[in-house]
Amino acid sequence: MKLSKDKLRRWSRSIHRELSFFLSGMVLIYAISGLFMNHRDTINPHYSVTRIEKRLSDLPSKEEFSREKVEQVMETMGVSERYTKHYFPEADQMKVFLKGGSSLIVDLSSGEAVYESLRRRPLLSTMTNLHYNPGRWWTWFADVFAIGLIIITITGILMLKGKRGLWGRGGIEFVAGILLPILLLLLS
């Protein structure tokens, strides 16, 4: 049985359409989380960080700080996380560790206090973790996904004929799509 060019195109269109719908969710997940990964220096994809600064007065001396005194300072700052522990990294600076990774730093000499609250970004953080290959099962899934993308690409190339196909404008765009990343790699 010989496969004609028209049958090959119809078959390619069918496979391309069905596989595209199937893999489009993963393409979106990788694309969205990839954007955030590319801009990690301006936005943390795993945590939302809130920073509050206040000047406090009537602070006790370093020696007088007990857990209760620290919790009073936390209340003044509007901190709702639970106290974990505190210590003094410098003579007149106190650092308070809070449940969940948040922290409070107080300069005892100036009264300047900085509270940083960390809140996990549940959906975005999970999506971003997929870029780090979270386990063996993910390697298999990612391999199947990559093979699916190869099939979508090949069927997409075979679908169109004439001046919009591989031997026309489509071929020029295909070659440009290969050369552009190579050129950017060579220039970087």
Q: What is the pLDDT of residue 23?
A: 92
DSSP 162: G
> Which residue in the block uniquely carries the two structure tokens 């106290």?
83
Output 165-171 pairs: Cβ under 8 A, ≥24 positions apart: none
Q: What is the pLDDT of residue 7?
A: 86
Q: In angstroms, how far apart are the furthest CA atoms of the chain?
A: 91
Q: 73 near 108, Cβ under 8 Å?
A: no
DSSP 97: E
Q: What is the pLDDT of residue 1?
A: 60
Q: What is the pLDDT of residue 161?
A: 77
* Full strand arrangement of the beta sheet holding 93-98: 47-55, 112-120, 103-107, 93-98, 83-90
Q: What is the pLDDT of residue 12?
A: 87
pLDDT tens for the chain, 188 residues long, are 677 888 888 888 889 899 999 999 999 998 999 999 899 889 889 899 889 999 998 888 888 889 999 999 999 998 988 999 999 999 899 999 999 889 999 999 999 999 999 899 989 998 988 888 888 888 899 899 999 999 998 888 888 778 888 788 888 888 999 999 999 999 98
**What is the model's pTM?**
0.66
Q: What is the pLDDT of residue 135?
A: 84
